[in-house]
Amino acid sequence: MSYQHKSLAEGRWRELSFIEQMANIGSEIERALNWKAKHNDVYCQQAFERSLELIDLTLGSVKGFARLKELARLREAIVDYFLGTNEFKFSEESLKKYFLNFIYAARKNH
């Protein structure tokens, strides 16, 4: 598999806290949403793919069933939002709101 986040895939990702991982995923989702709003499908798709890559890296390093379950459902919902029929009824606002707390928490810890 070819990673876009090569250094993170090589193990650096596991050094980040769960909150930092989620904040980074949120940043990629924000980028995808911003590009979607600008009708740039190519950049939106690239940011979306990077977010999936980070979610998959997190799924591989997460400890605990509750987090695993939440991440798996999050991945499913994000794929549905960007590629499916949006069965989860996410909006741009709700996606941003979900990740905002992780972004604030990550900044507060640094």
For 18-35, what is the HEC assignment?
HHHHHHHHHHHHHHHHHH
pLDDT computed for residue 26 by the predictor: 97
Report the alpha-carbon distance of residue 51 to residue 44 in Å, rounded. Answer: 11
pTM, entire model: 0.87
pLDDT, one tens digit for every residue, the chain (110 residues): 455 655 565 578 888 999 999 999 999 999 999 999 999 999 999 999 999 999 999 998 888 888 899 999 999 999 999 999 999 999 999 999 999 999 999 988 76
pLDDT computed for residue 12 by the predictor: 81
Helices 41-61 and 65-83 meet at what angle, rounded to 10? 170
pLDDT computed for residue 66 by the predictor: 87
